[in-house]
């Protein structure tokens, strides 16, 4: 994330150690950096009010917010370039709001870049999530590169983890995790992660094999 309290230090560390970083677009959480344009805050407030109005607001294209969305994406891309010295090769978003209609239909993300898809299907998933996933995938694959499947690490249930990790033998699977959560931190820093990944390759950097992406299930 850019324009946040620790963005400058995080970028400096990432550049120093060669950490593979992408741009985590922020449309809904107030910027906390020491310095950013006033217009950025105003645009974000307008966009955040709309996106937080209803759980399905992201699926609605708002013609009155075209300019604020455009500015928010452009300003965050420019700040990423300033911090990292290059444009981002990978894009995702806070609370997955980079997949909202104004961003996808408005074609605000640069073509050909890696963009995080919505969560892949899991048994028991709400029908609305399945519909929304198909909608976003259809728009994503026209302009961007995506991995085959995308899951959240929790819930850490053995049956579920077995299914997810078994898919890595033939597909590119991205797993989202938040180490700030104690259960996920323990899983990632203990022996559990080694046991689950023993039979599957773990990419040292974010990797994508052209032609691997499959249609949404």
pLDDT tens string, the chain, 217 residues long: the values are: 999 999 999 999 999 998 889 999 999 999 999 889 999 999 999 999 999 998 889 999 999 999 999 999 999 999 999 999 999 999 999 999 999 999 999 999 999 999 999 988 887 777 777 788 888 898 999 999 999 999 999 999 999 999 998 998 888 899 999 999 999 999 999 888 888 888 777 777 776 655 444 343 3
How many residues make up the chain in this entry?
217
pLDDT of residue 207: 64
Report the SS3 class of residue 159.
Answer: helix
The tens digit of pLDDT for each residue in 72-81 reads 999 999 999 9
What distance in Å separates the CA atoms of residue 151 and residue 173, rounded to the nearest whole number?
A: 8
The tens digit of pLDDT for each residue in 96-147 reads 999 999 999 999 999 999 999 998 888 777 777 778 888 889 899 999 999 9
CB atoms within 10 A of CB 135: 16
Write b or e for each residue in 1-34: b if 16 or more Cβ atoms lie within 10 A of its Cβ, otherwise e.
Answer: bbbbeebbebbeeeeeeeeebbbbbbbbeebeee
pLDDT of residue 39: 95
What distance in Å separates the CA atoms of residue 200 and residue 188, rounded to the nearest whole number?
A: 16
Residue with tokens 């399905």: 56
CB 62 within 8 A of CB 102: yes
| DSSP string covering 126-156 | -HHHHHHHHHHHHHHHHHSB--SEEEES-S-
The first and second tokens of residue 79, run together, are 């700040």
């Amino acid at each position: 994330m850019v324009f946040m309290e620790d963005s400058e230090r995080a970028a400096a560390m990432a550049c120093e150690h060669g950490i593979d970083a992408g741009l985590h677009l922020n449309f809904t959480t107030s910027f906390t950096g020491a310095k950013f344009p006033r217009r950025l805050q105003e645009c974000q407030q307008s966009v955040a009010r709309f996106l937080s109005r209803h759980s399905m607001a992201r699926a609605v294209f708002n013609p009155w917010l075209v300019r604020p969305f455009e500015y928010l994406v452009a300003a965050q891309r420019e700040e990423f370039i300033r911090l990292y010295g290059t444009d981002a090769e990978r894009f995702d978003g806070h609370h997955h709001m980079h997949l909202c209609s104004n961003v996808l239909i408005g074609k605000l993300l640069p073509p050909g870049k890696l963009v995080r898809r919505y969560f892949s299907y899991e048994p028991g998933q709400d029908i609305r999530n399945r519909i929304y996933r198909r909608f976003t995938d259809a728009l994503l694959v026209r302009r961007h590169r995506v991995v085959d499947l995308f899951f959240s690490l929790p819930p850490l249930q053995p049956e579920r983890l077995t299914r997810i990790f078994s898919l890595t033998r033939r597909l590119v699977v991205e797993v989202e995790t938040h180490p700030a959560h104690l259960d996920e931190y323990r899983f990632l820093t203990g022996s559990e992660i080694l046991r689950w990944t023993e039979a599957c390759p773990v990419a040292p950097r974010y990797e994508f094999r052209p032609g691997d992406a499959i249609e949404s299930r």
